[in-house]
Structure formats: C-alpha cells, structure tokens
Amino acid sequence: MSAPTGRSDARHGRPDARPARPRVLTIAGTDPTGGAGVAADLKTFTALGAYGMAVVTAVVAQNTHGVRSSHVPPLSVLRDQLAAVADDVTIDAVKIGMVGTREVADEVAAWLDAERPPLVVVDPVMVATSGHRLLAPDAEDAVRRLVTHADVVTPNLPELAVLVGEPEAATWPEALAQATSLAEHARVAVLVKGGHLAGGRSPDALVVAGPEGRVDVTELDAPRIATTATHGTGCTLSAAVAALAPRRPDLVEAARDAKEWLHGAIAAGEALRVGSGRGPVDHLHAAPGLGERRFTAEAWDAIADVRAACDDLPFVRALGDGSLDADEFAAYVRQDALYLAQYSTVLARAAQLAPTLEERAFFARGASSCLTIEAALHEDWLAAHGPRLDVPPSPETLAYTDALHRAAATGDYAVVVAAVLPCYSVYADVGARIARRLGECGTPEDAHPYGAWIATYSDPVFLAASDQARAYADRAAAYVSRATRARMLAAFVEAARHELAFFDQTSRRDLSAATRERVGSASGQR
C-alpha cells in the first residue's frame, strides 16, 4: 500500500502533479437500483473523497428483493474497459467485486499482474444478500487465485469457508481461525465480516500475517443495527477500504474508519425509502448539506411574515415618512443603545467560536463597532436629553438579548451566526425599502428628520457587512447536521420575531414621563 503516487505518467512522458484525490477503480457488477455493485462503490468513493472509476464485469438485473438475471459480456469488453482506464489514468487503488465467471476472474488477475496497482481490495462476491449466486460454481478456484493478487480480501463467513475449503464457521473464534489460515497461506490481509453471525454484535476483524509466523488480529466490533437496510453492505465496506487506504497510515486505520462510516450508512439506510425488500445503505449519511437549499434563502422565506409585518408597523411607517414622534424615537434609540451593548458581547462570542481568521476578524470588528455606536448614541444623542432617558431595558429588549445570549451559550458557531443575522439583514431590508420609498418621493435624506438613521441602514458599507454575515451563515450551514440546521433556523426566526417586537415596542407602550420631553434634533444609529 502506498500514498497516492503522483508518479510520472510513463505513457505520456509527463509528470503527474500530486492528485487532489486518490483515483480509485472498481471492477464489479451492476445493480440498477443503485444499492450494490459499481453504483454502491462509486457512491462510496465519492462520499469518502476519492475520485471514482468503474469497469463493469456483469450486467445484473436485481433489486432490493433479489437477482433476476445476470449477463457477463464477452471477455473482450472487459479487456477493453480495463485497458481504456489503465492506458490513461494513474490508479491509486482498485476494488474488485463480482467477477461472475472463471474467465473474468483470470482476466482480472492477469491485468493486476501487468498493472500492479499500489493497493488491491478483493471482495470475493459469491452469493448476494438475497441468497442468489453471483459466481459460477466452477469459478471458486479462480477466485482463490485472484485473492493471492490482493492486498486485502473482505470475505463474509460463507465466502471465507469457500476460500479456505472448510465448512462455514459457526462461531467468531472459528471465523478468526479460518481468517488466520487464509492470511498465512494467501499472504493477504483478511478483513473478515461477521455480519452473518447471530447475536447482538456485528464483529469484523482485520487479520494480517507478518514475518516469522506473527499474526496481527485487530477486532473491529460494532453493535448490530436492527434494520432492513443491508443490501450492498459488503460492496460498500470493501469500496470504503479502497477509498480510504491511500489516505491512511495503515490498513488497520483504513478498515476501522471504513467500518465506522459504514455503520452510520446502515443506520441511516431505511430513511431513504428505496425498495420494499432489503434496502440500500445511505452513502451520503455523513454529508448532510449536499443539495440543500442555501440556509439564508430558506431562513428568509421562513420570516416572510415578519418582514411584511415590519413594513406595516406604525413605528416603521412613521419613521419612513418622517412623521414619527421625536419622543418615541428617543425611547427607541435608548433601547437600541442597551441592545447594542449586549449584541456586542454575542458578536464577540461568534468571533471566539469562528472557524477561520477571516470570520473571527469580521465578528470582532462587528463587536467593536457596536460599542462605538452605542457610545456615540449616548454621547451625541441621549446624553443631550438628560438623565431622564436613562431608563432600564424594556421587556422587549430583554427578551431579545436573552434569546441572543441563549444562542451564544450553545457554544455552536452555526447557531450563534444564525441568531445574530436578523440584526443585520432585517435592518438592511427595512432600511433599503424606506430609502427606496424616499427616493421615489424625491425627499433628500438631509431634509428628513430621521435621515441619518435611514442612511446608516441603506449604506453600502452596512449592506456589505450584512451580505458577509449571510455568506458566513451559509458556509456554516453547509457542514452541519440536519438537527443543527433546524436549530439554526429556529434561532434565526426567533431573533427576527424579536426584531419585529423591538420596532413595535414604543408604539405599544405609553411613553414614560422620562421620554416625554421633546427632543430637538432627531437622528440616530443602531
């Protein structure tokens, strides 16, 4: 076994740069329902980050109930496919599955002899999960020969018995003894699969014969999953070993990681709802974000009601047309200053949790500018109107900041970013619409009593920060589980609802005597 070679491509006389991914070939049969054979192998290669290639040995009409027919094309078809791949592509690992006939097994063995790929995994497929034979009875000797060309062989218990010429092991120790015998005689690592044993476990073991009669046995135990999703588990395991081995220090680590990943795929299989028999495993179980809608697009739609309600609020309408009572604006600005002081600490938490320097810097700058704005609101605006504006946070302000602190306390970056997002995007949205309306009326911003406020939230700098925060939320969402994505959405929607209540708070309350004082110049920032 070796790392992806990056060796020079002798046929073309040009050096191959080190490949971005191991180039892994499967030589196997088909399954039109996509759970076994080359379809399972290619899905496995892709899910585990390898570049997958496939040569077809047999065309099999099968589904989750069983095999209906199997057709092995003329040998020249196999030979041409193998040559087409090998003439052009440097191969880092090969997985061999169903060979079907003696002739195919011997042809593949001869090709391995000639090409000597750095890693060969043979899954000695003989009988499908459904009990149908996938190997001609006279081909067993040829498969025994093929196994001697492999680095690893992955038999289940009936296949192991055929390979060693003994009755099928009835216990796990018997299986280990047979695997040891095969490892010693065929000089091949044996990944023996205990999936066919009765009991609550599904044990596998990697048996490697070393020098001077030493045998290393690494047991890979797992609880048995009660499921119907076991079609193609053998294909998937051997393909996973081929995909991972080029990127692991040894076969033990490759086999361990392959088994762990397969376990998750088996557990997630039934949810695919593919077929009514023994269904496939979910090869994409560890890549939950694939094909999902952008988080922020989904989140934005989820708060369509909030956005419409914001536009209809008397406060927002009056702010937009300049008719808003200055006392009401002063009360709002006071609450906003209190809010920003808390929001700043939550942005600082996002900075602390952020996975990249870029995001850390972005949220740290955000935390800092909130404090600057908060201080400016006090100095330039609120202080000018005396201590009577110095009221405590309102229930709406507290409810919003409590929700943000709860999100921060999860310690989950994706959730924190989702929670802080509405403060950017709801304001950018409302600000942009007010500015557009003013533009349509031809009102210059400096002639508007709240022109400074409107200018802040329709400012390209603020809009760029809002876009950036959205991009970070989408990036975070791409790597999270379904459950975390749901928590992100809940945090976003909750924060957006608090934005609505926050806008609405002054009009829903009798302004306190403290803010009743007329305020001359009305301008502010959030």
Ligand X SMILES: Nc1ncnc2c1ncn2[C@@H]1O[C@H](COP(=O)(O)OP(=O)(O)OP(=O)(O)O)[C@@H](O)[C@H]1O
Ligand Y SMILES: Cc1ncc(CO)c(N)n1
Residue 31 binding ligand X, by CB under 6 A:
no
Partner touching 31 among ligand X, ligand Y, none, CB below 5 to 8 Å by kind: ligand Y
Question: Which region, judged by CB under 6 A, interacts with ligand Y, from 30-38, 85-93, 257-265, 460-468?
Answer: 30-38
Q: How far is the CB of 403 from ligand X (least distance, A)?
A: 41
Question: Which region, judged by CB under 6 A, interacts with ligand X, from 44-52, 68-76, 194-202, 403-411?
Answer: 194-202
The span from the CA of 220 to the CA of 175, in Å, is 14
- Candidate list 5, 25, 26, 29; residue touching ligand Y; CB under 6 A: 29
SS3 content of the chain, % helix, strand, coil (to 5): 55, 10, 35
- Candidate list 37, 279, 320, 366; residue touching ligand Y; CB under 6 A: 37
Count the residues of the shown chain that bind ligand X, applying the rule CB under 6 A.
22
Residues 215, 180 contacting (CB under 8 angstroms): yes
Residues 6+ apart with CB under 8 A from 8: 14, 15, 16
Partner touching 37 among ligand X, ligand Y, none, CB below 5 to 8 Å by kind: ligand Y
Residues 6+ apart with CB under 8 A from 56: 28, 29, 30, 38, 73, 81
Residues with catalytic roles: 193, 230, 232-235
Tokens 């760029």 belong to which residue? 464
Q: Would you give the binding string for ligand Y spanning residues 251-290, x where CB under 6 A is met? A: ----------------------------------------
Residue 262 binding ligand X, by CB under 6 A:
yes
Partner touching 98 among ligand Y, ligand X, none, CB below 5 to 8 Å by kind: ligand Y
- Candidate list 5, 22, 24, 31; residue touching ligand Y; CB under 6 A: 31
**How are beta strands 204-209 and 215-220 bridged, if at all?**
antiparallel
Partner touching 29 among ligand Y, ligand X, none, CB below 5 to 8 Å by kind: ligand Y
Q: What ranges make up the beta strands (E) of 97-157? A: 120-122, 152-153
Closer residue to ligand X (CB): 184 or 270: 270
Q: Would you give the binding string for ligand X spanning residues 225-254, x where CB under 6 A is met? A: x-x--x-xxxx-x-----------------
Closer residue to ligand Y (CB): 96 or 330: 96
- Side chain identity, residue 97: G
Partner touching 230 among ligand Y, ligand X, none, CB below 5 to 8 Å by kind: ligand X
Q: What torsion do the CA atoms of 106, 111, 114, 115 make, to the nearest 10 degrees? A: -150
Partner touching 412 among ligand X, ligand Y, none, CB below 5 to 8 Å by kind: none
Residues 495, 420 contacting (CB under 8 angstroms): yes
The span from the CA of 464 to the CA of 466, in Å, is 5
Question: Which region, judged by CB under 6 A, interacts with ligand Y, from 22-30, 42-50, 282-290, 313-321?
Answer: 22-30
**How are beta strands 23-28 and 93-96 bridged, if at all?**
parallel
Q: Would you give the binding string for ligand X spanning residues 104-133, x where CB under 6 A is met? A: -------------------------x----
Residue 96 binding ligand Y, by CB under 6 A:
no
CA 111 to chain centroid, in Å, comes to 37
Q: How far is the CB of 31 from ligand Y (least distance, A)?
A: 5
Residues 303, 67 contacting (CB under 8 angstroms): no
DSSP 3-state of 209 = strand
> What is the 8-class DSSP label of residue 53?
E
The span from the CA of 375 to the CA of 371, in Å, is 6
- Side chain identity, residue 98: M
The span from the CA of 131 to the CA of 119, in Å, is 30
Bridge partners (DSSP) of residue 209 are 215
Residues 19, 92 contacting (CB under 8 angstroms): yes
- Candidate list 235, 242, 469, 489; residue touching ligand Y; CB under 6 A: 235
Question: Which region, judged by CB under 6 A, interacts with ligand Y, from 122-130, 153-161, 449-457, 482-490?
Answer: 122-130
Partner touching 204 among ligand X, ligand Y, none, CB below 5 to 8 Å by kind: ligand X
Tell me which residues touch ligand X (CB under 6 A).
129, 156, 193-196, 202, 204, 222, 224-225, 227, 230, 232-235, 237, 259, 262-263, 266
